[in-house]
Structure formats: structure tokens, C-alpha cells
A = this chain, B = another copy of it.
Amino acid sequence: MVIDAHGHYTTVPPGLRVFRALQISQMGKPVKSPVNISDDEIRASLEKGQLRLLDERGIDVMIFSPMASAMGHHFGNALISRYWTEVNNELIHRVCTLYPNRFAGACSLPQSPGVSPRDCAQELERCVNEFGFVACNLNPDPSGGYWTGPPLGDEWWYPLYERLEALDVPAMIHASATCNPAFHTTGSHYLNVDATAFLQLMESRVFRDFPRLRIVMPHGGGNVPYQAARYRALAIMNKWEPFDDFVKRIYFDTTVYNQDAMELLIKVVGVDNIIFASEMLGGVNTTDPASGQSFDDNRRFIDAISWLSDADRQKIFETNARKVYARLGAVTAGA
């Protein structure tokens, strides 16, 4: 079985954007109005897109979450964020209900700048306990590129980590759009957030305080495999846990898109901490002119690595994901 741990509902029907647009006119008095999307619209939005590609590429199950760039935690107040997050998660639940063996849900959290992560617990519990979701996405910078909040090592985040451990679900680190003109959302901002979060955790005691917490780094860890020696030196100079031990506390997805990067990633992190993912349809939704294939058709890079055994590949494609996404069993049983 092949599990893809990183897909967003980027092909969402227009009814969701209608809801979002109305939030601008309701900023003073937010309302959770109904979202007007039919089951047929959901089917159409997936069957030409993600489902077709999953079939073509031999991927059985995708862990599916709301559009990341549209999470927009920087917009409006906590109630705006809550309503928007809820309707997005409810839509993912409808997707998972329509295709129970192809998609497993991962929720967004109703984060908002300056609002305690404790206030996300209720929505996380609803998604896991009522909807059967298997993970959440955690945005380390809800300000959208101004970095006004405490780092992930701060106890500010601990109530959320407690709930993640109690519910036995992992968090994928994932930024949303930046509202800061210094950054490009899916270019510099996403990758900066990954690298920043990695270092925030590295200089923290989070994994000592939450030994069962599971964190997934997207985009192949931003810069981590390439800058491994720098991190290795910093850990020595700062008397942190050695890099090569610390890196095993985190799981890295494979959303990098050429052979060299994929090999470097797996070599630095090790097969036990790699989880297959394509992030399709997402940040690199176009054809590589060099190969004539889609950039995000990245399974082929793993298949082509001569120094991986079949057992290694099974870990990357399936077993590691089952370990990290412990609640995935119900979904994959039927696939």
C-alpha cells in the first residue's frame, strides 16, 4: 500500500470562497453561514484532479487537509478564524465520507495571532473524535510572516501538545499565506517556516516534555538536509542534543521534486523517519520540461534510488505513516 501524507483540498468548489468573501463584510460581527456545495460538486472537484492522479500514480490513500495557503490565520479575529476553520474541516469530512478508503482527514486549527493554542483543542477533538481525522496542521506563525508569536518551544504551545498526545495524532508543521510583502507564500515563506520550526524545536525541551508527541516536517524539511552540517555544528556549540539524534525525533515528508534532493533527504534523515508525500495538487503543479512529467509525480525518485531495499521503500510508502498517523487503521483497512 502507498500512503501519501500531504495533500490539500486546493480544487475546492467556489461555494467555499463565497463563504470566505462574506467574512470580509462580516468582520465586525462574524457569522457561520451555510456553505453551499453539493456532493456532486465535491466529486467533480476531486475526480478530475487528486483522485485521477492518485490512481495514475498507484497511491492508495491520501491524508487530506484544507488548502494551506487559504487557512489565513492572520485575517480577522479569533471568531473569524474559528468559523472559517470549521467550515473547511467540515468540507474535508464530507470528502472523507464520500471516499472513505481514499482520503483520511487532517484538520486545520482555528489559530489566530495572540490567541492561546489552548483554544484550538476543542476543534481538534471534534475533528478526531467526531470526524475520525488522523492529524492536524499546525501553523507556527499565525501572523502570516511577521512572526509575532512565541516559538514552538514556549509553554504557550503546551496545551496543544498535551491534546495531540492524548488524542494520539501527529501535527504537520504548515504555514499559511504570508501577508508580508517580504515573502513569497509557497516559495520563501513555507520553507522558512519549516526551517524555523525545526530550529525552534531543536533548541527547546518539547520532546523531553512530550515524549510521545509526533511532528511531521513538510517540504522535505525546508533546508534541513542541505544544511545538516551547520545544524550539527550548532548543536555542538550550543550543547543541544546532537543533530543526528534530534533529527530522529521528527518525521520528514518527501515533498521535494528531483532525484538529488530526494536522495539527500533520505540519506540525512534515515528511512525510519521518512514519510512519502507529494503535496498534490499544490505548490509545484506544473510539468518539468526536463522530464516531461509533473514535478509532483515524485514517487519515481524514491523508486529510482538503488541503495533502498524493498523493506526501506515499504517503510517510506506505508509503515512509517501507519506508525505516525496511528488512527489511520480504519481508513486503510478498507482500501
Contacts and interface: CB of A to CB of B under 8 A. Distances in A.
A105 to B, nearest CB: 26
Contacts of A203: 184
A187 B204 CA distance: 14
A234 interface: yes
Interface string A246-278: 000000000011101100100110000000000
Contacts of A223: 191, 195, 222-223, 226-227
B226 A220 contact: yes
Contacts of A261: 226-229, 264
Interface stretch (A29-37, A119-127, A284-292, A307-315): A284-292
Interface string A225-238: 11111111110110
A192 interface: yes
A283 to B, nearest CB: 7
A116 interface: no
A129 interface: no
Interface residues of A, number: 58
Contacts of A225: 226
A149 interface: yes
A301 to B, nearest CB: 9
Interface string A20-60: 00000000000000000000000000000000000000000
A210 interface: no
Interface string A158-180: 00000000000000000000001
Contacts of A258: 228-229
Most buried by B among A181, A186, A230, A234: A230
A13 interface: no
A196 B188 contact: yes
A228 B219 CA distance: 12
A258 to B, nearest CB: 4
A7 interface: no
A329 interface: no
Nearest to A190: B230
Interface in A55-113: none
A117 interface: no
A146 B149 CA distance: 11
Contacts of A234: 184, 186-187, 283-284
6 contacts: A188-B192, A191-B195, A220-B227, A229-B258, A232-B288, A234-B284
The 8 A-B pairs at the shortest CB distance, nearest first, are namely: A229-B257, A226-B226, A223-B223, A233-B284, A229-B258, A147-B182, A192-B192, A188-B199
Given A140-B182, A229-B256, 6 more contacts: A147-B147, A220-B227, A227-B261, A232-B257, A233-B286, A236-B286
